[in-house]
A and B are shown apart, each in its own frame.
Chain A
Amino acid sequence: DGGITQSPKYLFRKEGQNVTLSCEQNLNHDAMYWYRQDPGQGLRLIYYSQIVNDFQKGDIAEGYSVSREKKESFPLTVTSAQKNPTAFYLCASSTLGGGANEQFFGPGTRLTVL
């Protein structure tokens, strides 16, 4: 079955630690995205990538980093510079071109800073 997987589902981090959230897709999509979701809030874009070895900052990139070494993988690192990292993180992917490109989302990773 094609889809997006995220791991782990739950992640606990001590203050001052970096953590990496995994996102893998087997849909052969060119574009991948990371969003942050806080309780009662909408989605905020952290980073996105439309081609391997290239990525762009979204609206709230500070304190986060990404890489796109393979088409199917787009890991997100939450660094110690992120002041308030406790949130629900969603990875998504889509095709490019055509104009009606829906996004496919993973199941999310809930990060809690202890």
Chain B
Amino acid sequence: GDSVTQMEGPVTLSEEAFLTINCTYTATGYPSLFWYVQYPGEGLQLLLKATKADDKGSNKGFEATYRKETTSFHLEKGSVQVSDSAVYFCALLTAGGSYIPTFGRGTSLIVHP
């Protein structure tokens, strides 16, 4: 079956540091890939997505590139802010399936001033 593996958290950084959160996946079909963000006490919201190999999703300074050869979709940001502190979830959705996404366990990011 499909699965998503994210790096364990928490990831703790100082403001303006470079962020990478690793995400790798296994999928039976050709998936679309997503990053969602959850701020404390809130629901998830879509951060970015990519639907085919070599696509780069980007939003709010975050980027992730769909790497089919390494089955990865790592999230990066060049300079994090305190307001980026949240939990980040990687997810995949396989076309033609049940429309149930597979989520990773989430990675908590804590950014200190």
Q: Which residues of A contact B (CB under 8 A)?
A: 4, 6, 31, 33, 41-43, 45, 48, 50, 58, 90, 92, 94, 96, 98-108
Given A50-B99, A90-B43, A94-B99, 13 other A-B residues pairs in contact with their CB atoms under 8 A = A6-B43, A33-B100, A41-B105, A42-B103, A42-B104, A45-B100, A98-B95, A99-B96, A100-B93, A101-B99, A102-B34, A104-B46, A105-B43
Count B-side interface residues using an 8 Å CB cutoff. Answer: 23
Are A102 and B49 within 8 A (Cβ)?
Answer: yes
* Chain B interface (Cβ < 8 Å from any Cβ of A): 32, 34, 36, 41-46, 49, 51, 89, 93-96, 99-101, 103-106
Bound form: Cα–Cα A65–B20 in Å: 39
Q: State whether A99 touches B93 (Cβ < 8 A).
A: yes
**Contact between chains at A99 and B42 (CB < 8 Å):** no
B105, A99: Cβ atoms under 8 Å?
no
What CA separation (Å) do A102 and B93 show in the bound complex? 9
Which A residues are CB-close (under 8 A) to B99? 31, 50, 94, 96, 101
